Chains A and B, each alone.
Chain A
Amino acid sequence: DIQMTQTPASVSASVGDRVTITCRASEGIGSWLAWYQQKPGKAPRLLIYAASSLQSGVPSRFSGSGSGTDFTLTISSLQPEDFAIYYCQQPNSFPITFGQGTRLEIK
């Protein structure tokens, strides 16, 4: 199975800050990576697919990059509604696996 490791596990930041979350795959997955945002009590929401493609309706302050084993999600200027848990996912091979999540908290 492909293991997905996210760092950091949690991060505190302020409105307006730039934040970067990293996801590392245990083996190469090309650009087969997606990022999801989850708020308390809600279903996850797709933000980024194919490592760097922005899902329709997602604000442009979200961006993704990387390929192979190392990927990043960047939020260029944090807004109050961005405080949530973020997950990476590899759909490259079965079983499909998710990272353990990164909690983004208000400083």
Chain B
Amino acid sequence: EVQLVESGGGLVQPGGSLRLSCAASGFIFRGYFMSWVRQAPGKGLEWLANIKQDGSVRYNVDSVKGRFTISRDNAKNSLYLQMNSLRAEDTAVYYCVRVNEQQLVSFDYWGQGTLVTVSS
């Protein structure tokens, strides 16, 4: 069974940093693109970043470029999101997502999400 379990969320002050982790199991992690998606309270879904299987290629949405960095450790079956210079508008539930290239890059498995609250 595919499982994605996020951790690392919490309350952080504006300007602060946080590192989210996602532990993957039930599939060959190194064989998949991975992604982070967030959802602000009561709002829609916002894609943040993708990372290729070997970590060599990464894509970011402009709103987090230069502040958020996606990375992975295939030996630990883990995905990460380093978030710096956090702002109030970064408050959201952050989802770790598996990307299925065989299904036209659909997001086929999602974690349960971890809540990040940016507030003083």
Chain A positions within 8 Å of B, measured between CB atoms, are: 31-32, 34, 36, 38, 42-46, 49-50, 53, 55, 87, 89, 91, 94-101
Contact A91 B59 (CB under 8 A): no
A12–B46 Cα gap in the complex (Å)?
25
Does B104 touch A at the CB level, under 8 Å?
Answer: yes
Chain B positions within 8 Å of A, measured between CB atoms, are: 35, 44-47, 50, 59, 61-62, 95, 99-100, 103-113
Chain B interface mostly: strand
Q: Which of B59, B106, B110, B113 contacts A34 (CB 8 A)?
A: B106
Given A49-B103, A97-B47, also A55-B59 (CB < 8 A): no
Contact B47 A32 (CB under 8 A): no
* Chain B residues near A38 (CB-CB < 8 A): 45
A17–B62 Cα gap in the complex (Å)?
41
Contact A34 B47 (CB under 8 A): no
Given A49-B100, A95-B61, A96-B50, also A89-B107 (CB < 8 A): yes
Closest chain-B Cβ to A6's Cβ sits at a distance in Å of 10
